[in-house]
Amino acid sequence: MQSVLVTREIFPETLQRLAQHFQVTPNEGDVQHPPGALAGQLAGHEGVLVAGGERIDAALLDANPQLKAVCNMAVGYNNIDVPACTARGVLVTNTPDVLTETTADFGFALMMATARRIAEGEHYLRDGRWTRWSYNLLTGSDVHGATLGILGMGRIGQGIARRGALGFGMNVIYHNRSRLPAEQEAPINARYVSKEELLREADHLVLVLPYSAASHHAIGAAELALMKPTATLTNIARGGIVDDEALAEALKRGTLAAAGLDVFEGEPNVHPALLTVPNVVLTPHIASATVRTRRAMADLAADNLIAALTGQRAPTPVNPEVIR
């Protein structure tokens, strides 16, 4: 019988399903292992269900030549060295589609919370600082009718654009590696612009692009300087796309009105400067976290693992070229 490792605690139903096909090594108690320990734990396993963003790199693959499939429970897979997997014939899969609408809901909610200063308001109230009405108490900026800028117009970006255009009458502009076909732009009246125009014109900029060496610090001090001082920035993509230190500085100086961040460079650590500025809403990488969606992600990751190791076609491969 083949063996699979599940790197983090997961739904018992997912483990039971995998156990119908494989010898399963779970992570009972969700033990946090030291960095580098995963390579040793993988010994003797043909497949791994990666839940929690563990790194799969060339050294780990070289230590585990028996490994055939790496199934990520996330749509983003910057934690996996895909070329190294492909070179060794290891199939990589991810979980697209099942989380699109849930993640778009969260991105829109975080953008609204940021624009309307909801977290600041809650802290103000809980801290007992609310003593009377004031005409300018925690005034934010409107979402309806404003210009929504989207950097990275994939499935989730389009979901956020739809919410903005159809639900809130927003004017949608976007920048992406490639322009959408006209029939996808038309229903949401989305306008393709340069990255510079996007930064200059957006009232609310939402980042939904994948992380790669090319998108590292795509938003740094120079980009932030192009944005309106009244604008907001929301990042639900990946840490490292924003230079968190430069962002904290812009928020502190007021050259950017506010930010909403669900992802961070080096998470779960958060840049200490971000913790000291009030005009930022911070959440712990939960954009896809509804019970139904997390279950759908686990199911799809398990489907991929079962298919990959039992000679079927995995539903959502990242490197289908390794399938012969």
Select 51 or 170, whichever has its Cβ closest to ligand DGY: 51
Q: Which of 21, 162, 267, 295 is catalytic?
A: 267
Residue 288 CB, shortest distance to ligand DGY, in Å, is 4
Select 147 or 235, whichever has its Cβ closest to ligand DGY: 235
Which runs of E-coded beta strand occur in the chain? Answer: 3-6, 23-25, 47-50, 69-72, 91-93, 147-151, 171-175, 191-192, 204-207, 232-235, 258-261, 280-282
AA identity, residue 284: P
Catalytic residue flag (residue 200): no
CA-wise closest residue to 160 among 287, 19, 22: 287
Residue 299 CB, shortest distance to ligand DGY, in Å, is 14
SS3 at position 171 = strand
Residue 242 CB, shortest distance to ligand DGY, in Å, is 15
Select 64 or 94, whichever has its Cβ closest to ligand DGY: 94
Tokens coding 11? 């739904």
Select 90 or 297, whichever has its Cβ closest to ligand DGY: 297
CA–CA separation, 273 and 260 (whole Å):
14
Long-range CB contacts (within 8 A, 24+) of 219-222: 219/151, 219/243, 219/247, 220/246, 221/246, 221/249, 221/250
Catalytic residue flag (residue 238): yes
State whether the Cα torsion 18-55-160-124 is positive or negative. positive
Residue 160 CB, shortest distance to ligand DGY, in Å, is 14
Residue 216 CB, shortest distance to ligand DGY, in Å, is 17
Select 64 or 78, whichever has its Cβ closest to ligand DGY: 78
Q: Which of 45, 238, 271, 294 is catalytic?
A: 238
SS3 at position 144 = coil
Residue 164 CB, shortest distance to ligand DGY, in Å, is 21
Helix (H) or strand (E) holding 122, with range, is: helix 118-126
As a whole number of Å, the end-to-end CA separation of the chain is 22
Residue 263 CB, shortest distance to ligand DGY, in Å, is 7
CA–CA separation, 310 and 4 (whole Å):
12
CA–CA separation, 144 and 190 (whole Å):
16
Select 50 or 99, whichever has its Cβ closest to ligand DGY: 99
Select 140 or 239, whichever has its Cβ closest to ligand DGY: 239
Tokens coding 202? 């957006």
Catalytic residue flag (residue 175): no
List 207's β-bridge partners, or say none: 151, 235
Tell me the backbone φ, ψ of residue 145, rounded to 5 degrees: 75, -5
State whether the Cα torsion 153-158-160-166 is positive or negative. positive
> With 0-12 CB in 10 A as exposed, 13-18 as middle and 19+ as buried, what is 286?
middle
Residues within the interface to ligand DGY (CB under 6 A): 74-76, 99, 288
* Residues annotated catalytic, as ranges: 238, 267, 285
